Structure 1
């Protein structure tokens, strides 16, 4: 079973926001996520950065012969 629990690392200690639902020994992995400025998270990507990178074939909307029996 994999369980995720939120917590805070501060002054060399990890403080869980809830008690882990385990009653026996278990291996754990800890991932540190630095708090960032909310403005950075909300910054929009400039428009047009993907322009010219997506190509569609000319027959994209044509019926697919393999699916004739199902239509």
Structure 2
């Protein structure tokens, strides 16, 4: 079973945010996460492009370029 515990690695030492479960000898895997690069973008609001995009009336009509293949 795997358990994930958040900690900080600083000056060669691991500083636990909470105590690890159990005090017996165990194998551990340590993954170093990259620092976030820049601010997190905001979620897009549905409908924000309303009125800015239009579809031409002849959208479903055959294209002149493909007339020879039809």
TM-score, structure 2 as length reference = 0.51
> What runs of 5+ residues in structure 1 fail to find an aligned partner?
45-71
Distance in 1 (alpha carbons) for counterparts of 2:42 and 2:36: 12
SS of the equivalent of 1:25 reads coil
- Residue matched to 2:3: 3
Matches within 5 A, 1:51-70: none
Matches within 5 A, 1:1-71: 1-39=1-39, 41-42=40-41
> CA offsets, 1:19-65, max 9 Å, x none?
011231110000000221342x4278xxxxxxxxxxxxxxxxxxxxx
Aligned-residue RMSD, C-alpha? 2.0
Larger Rg: 2
Q: Alignment length, in residue pairs?
A: 43
